[in-house]
Amino acid sequence: MNSQPINPPRPALKPRPYDSIAVIGAGAWGSALATVARRAGRSVRLWGRDVSVIDDINRNSRNDRFLPGIDLAPGILATTDLATALDGAEAVLIVIPSVAIRQICAEIAPLILKGIPVAICAKGIEEGTGYLMGHIAAEVLGDHPVGVISGPTFADETALGHFTAATVAFNFSYNDRLSPMDSPAARVAVSMSTPSFRTYISDDLVGVEIGGAVKNVIAIACGMMTGAGFAKNTRAALITRGMDEMKQLAEALGGKRETVTGLSGAGDLTLTCSSDSSRNMSLGTQLGAGVVRDQCFDGKPVVVEGEHNAITVTDLARRLGVQMPICEAVRRVLHDGADLRDTFAHMWSSPIVSEPRAMMALSFDHPSGLSPVVRGDEVVS
């Protein structure tokens, strides 16, 4: 008698890529992601507002304003018309500063077909609402799967084809779990995969987004201490304890602590806190060296996401009752006029606690006897 296996092997499956991708935002990261998608064999339309940038991309396959000296993948169609960029798109990547996410989502909402997945490639928390970028997009766009692409990714290195890895995160519906190969996360991941750009998949949208938002603030802290003359011990401590702050905030919002140990958390944090190519690290370094904010970056109006995130991250943490002393220190220096050295000295002399805190509830005063430590609006003696 022929017998059939109780659990027959599943047929080999592969997600079907999205053939046409619209990239909204022609800055450095938008141009790099457009290049990745084009190298992966996708049809790519790239939208931006600056006519000179768009002309440069179409005529020369270059974006010398934001990625000087780097050849982009040929065949990218760049446009200043949003409807043209979105026409026929099967998936949309939004790659603009976090403060403009709500506005651009409202602009694209009437221009994309129902059900088209949208991946946010910006990192931050909205001021006032405390919303993550994915939550904003989901609220404004309505019936569209919304996810993020995040990880340790400098735009110039990605565009040059250096080995790079990133996480593609979407919330998984019931149907997505029944047919994961058909999920937006899997399909976006395979759509953006090239020999040099490796994607990983996550269903923890909150955990991935928190890592991306908080790491900017921790990078400013690392830069501040580096610029002030402190060494590698200090940076290692800030990175490690900063990751713990990420974990606590992610968990408070329903994310997973282990997500923060992945590419979008530990990976992105390590990269951003280790190079002056990061605008966040660079700003902190200049401030730590005594350069006044208006004179940083030679007086140029450079957007530094962590500067805004220092407020939004700590506002959200205070609402949730999460203690984030490093992010609070950055906020006080950047926005409250606090002295940099005094602020970090006070943080270093805060009560001694156990690590990890789950092991035991232990806390006692630091013996240095420095002045009280401020945590948010609370003064701890």
Query: DSSP class of residue 230?
Result: -
- CA 332, CA 373: separation in Å to the nearest integer? 12
| pLDDT higher than threshold 50 for residue 377 | no
Q: What's the confidence (pLDDT) of residue 26?
A: 98
Q: What's the confidence (pLDDT) of residue 5?
A: 57
Q: What's the confidence (pLDDT) of residue 257?
A: 93
SS3 372: coil
pLDDT in tens, 216-270: 999 999 999 999 999 999 999 999 999 999 999 999 999 999 999 999 999 999 9
Query: DSSP class of residue 12?
Result: P
| pLDDT higher than threshold 80 for residue 368 | no
SS3 44: strand
Phi, psi of 170 (to 5 degrees): -135, 150
pLDDT in tens, 51-107: 999 999 999 999 999 999 999 999 999 999 999 999 999 999 999 999 999 999 999
Other CB atoms within 10 A of residue 230 CB: 17
Question: Among 177, 166, 283, 176, which residue's Cα sits nearest to residue 222?
Answer: 283
| pLDDT higher than threshold 90 for residue 356 | no
Question: Among 350, 296, 307, which residue's Cα sits nearest to residue 330?
Answer: 307
pLDDT in tens, 128-170: 999 999 999 999 999 899 999 999 999 999 999 999 999 999 9
Give the residue-averaged pLDDT of 321-332.
97
- CA 103, CA 62: separation in Å to the nearest integer? 27
Question: Cβ neighbours of residue 43 under 8 Å, at least 6 residues apart?
Answer: 19, 20, 21
Query: Phi-psi category of 254—alpha, beta or left, where left has phi over 0 and alpha has psi -120 to 50?
Result: left
Q: Is 215 a catalytic residue?
A: yes
| For the chain, percent of residues with pLDDT exceeding 70 | 91
Marked catalytic residue, from 14, 114, 215, 232: 215
Average confidence score pLDDT of the chain:
92
Q: What's the confidence (pLDDT) of residue 3?
A: 54
Give the residue-averaged pLDDT of 298-319.
94
Domains parsed from the chain with CATH numbers? 20-203 (3.40.50.720), 211-375 (1.10.1040.10)
Q: For 184, how many CA atoms within 13 A lie in the half-sphere containing its CB?
A: 24
